């Protein structure tokens, strides 16, 4: 009697385990997170219990929609101390006048005549995202970090950078530290551009190689660099940025000799085009770095519209508008 009772107690104690085993073997398993059930297969094990094998596969994610860009004409991105915004996508005189008035107010508040250096016949979009209109503050809190990150610092830290995103430019022009901002924007694919123009740019050996790759890969069709003699920014940024510069080049670069910086750019980034202009007396001066100094030297000729000139039709064929004369 005691033996029978003992067996019953053991059987009763094991019953929950038997039930649990039966439930687990006869129920389909859940698929792990991030996967979906695609089928199952039933079979019998050696004890005759039903075993359900569940098949799972990685859950498909919808591909993000392709990024789209707004055609935005031609842009000029300012550098150190530039805090400004100007955007006219229309020839409406009232809109242009309103934007000019807003920019004039920005200049007054910043005590910086940005507009004097802007060729408004060439650029309809102007942006400056400096951290301060004070040069020392902007250099120490933003520009130096762009030197070390190829513009990523401003792209990540300056809220006004968002105004650049998702735009397509025929020409993307960049002055001073604006060259680093433009490089980051193109590298991030925040903007696309056909042609790039760099005025007195902040450059390093690494950033020059990145610009060269932009042209080689077809991301941009061309990169044109303009440098005024006596402009201290390109040589100083090259010296500060480090990289492989031979000793002879270092010594002449430190003396701000234009042929040296041109040679370094040509050797480092052969797909870029460099042009220098006379400015100053050979001693470094920020007067030759100002955008006004570049505007005065770069001769911009708008492309003819190719529209037929009224009153010129002869035998049904009109004469196309000729190129603009040099200004």
> Higher-confidence residue: 104 or 252?
104
Residue 105 has pLDDT above 70, yes or no: yes
Q: What is the pLDDT of residues 259-288, one digit of tens each?
A: 688 888 999 999 999 999 999 988 899 999
The DSSP result for 61-89, as a single string, is -PPPPPP--EE--EEEE--TT-EEEEE--
pTM, rounded to two decimals: 0.71
Instruction: Kindly provide the b/e burial profile for residues 200-220, where b requires at least 16 CB atoms within 10 angstroms of the residue's own CB.
Output: bbbbbbebbebbbebbeeeeb
> Higher-confidence residue: 108 or 288?
288
The DSSP 8-state label assigned to residue 314 in this structure reads: B
Domain ranges (residues) in the chain: 70-297
- Distance separating alpha carbons of residues 97 and 87, to the nearest angstrom: 11
Counting residues of the chain whose pLDDT is more than 70, the rounded percentage is 76
Residue 123 has pLDDT above 90, yes or no: yes
Counting residues of the chain whose pLDDT is more than 90, the rounded percentage is 48
> Higher-confidence residue: 25 or 160?
160
The DSSP result for 84-131, as a single string, is EEEE--S--HHHHHHHHHHHHHHHHHHT--GGGG--TTT-SEEEEE-S
The model's confidence at residue 18, banded by pLDDT at 50, 70 and 90, is very low
The model's confidence at residue 327, banded by pLDDT at 50, 70 and 90, is very low
What per-residue confidence (pLDDT) applies to 316? 52
The model's confidence at residue 84, banded by pLDDT at 50, 70 and 90, is confident
- Distance separating alpha carbons of residues 269 and 215, to the nearest angstrom: 10
Q: What is the pLDDT of residues 133-159, one digit of tens each?
A: 899 999 999 999 999 999 999 999 999
Helix 205-216 to helix 178-187 angle, to the nearest 10 degrees?
50
Distance of CA 173 to the CA centre of its chain: 13
What per-residue confidence (pLDDT) applies to 253? 55
Domain at 70-297: CATH code:
3.40.50
The model's confidence at residue 246, banded by pLDDT at 50, 70 and 90, is low
3-state secondary structure of 229: coil
> Higher-confidence residue: 265 or 101?
265
């Amino acid at each position: 009697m005691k033996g029978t009772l003992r067996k019953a107690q053991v059987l009763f104690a094991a019953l929950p385990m038997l039930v649990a085993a039966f439930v687990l073997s006869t129920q389909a398993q859940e698929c792990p997170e991030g996967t979906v059930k695609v089928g199952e297969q039933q079979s019998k094990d050696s004890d005759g219990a039903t075993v359900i094998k569940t098949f799972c596969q990685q859950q498909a994610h919808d591909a993000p929609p392709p990024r789209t860009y707004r055609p935005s004409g031609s842009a000029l991105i300012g550098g150190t101390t530039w805090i400004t915004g100007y955007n006219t996508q229309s020839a409406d005189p009232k809109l242009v006048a309103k934007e000019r008035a807003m920019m004039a107010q920005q200049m007054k508040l910043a005590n910086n005549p940005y507009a004097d250096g802007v060729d408004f016949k060439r650029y309809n979009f102007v942006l400056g995202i400096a951290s301060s209109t004070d040069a020392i503050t902007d250099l120490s809190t933003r520009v130096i970090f762009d030197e070390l990150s190829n513009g990523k610092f401003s792209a990540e830290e300056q809220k006004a950078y968002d105004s650049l995103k998702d735009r397509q430019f025929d020409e993307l022009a960049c002055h001073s530290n604006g060259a680093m901002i433009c490089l980051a924007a193109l590298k991030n694919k925040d903007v696309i551009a056909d042609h790039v123009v760099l005025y007195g740019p902040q450059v390093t050996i690494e950033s020059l190689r990145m610009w060269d790759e932009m042209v080689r890969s077809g991301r941009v069709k061309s990169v044109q660099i303009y440098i005024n003699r006596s402009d201290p920014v390109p040589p100083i940024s090259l010296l500060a940025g480090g990289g492989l510069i031979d000793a002879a080049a270092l010594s002449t670069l430190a003396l701000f000799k234009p042929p040296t910086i041109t040679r370094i750019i040509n050797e480092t980034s052969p797909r870029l085009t460099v042009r220098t202009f006379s400015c100053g007396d050979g001693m470094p001066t920020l007067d030759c770095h100002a955008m006004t100094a570049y505007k005065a030297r770069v001769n911009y000729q708008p492309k003819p519209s190719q529209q037929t000139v009224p009153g010129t039709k002869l035998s049904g064929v009109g004469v196309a508008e000729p190129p603009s004369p040099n200004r």
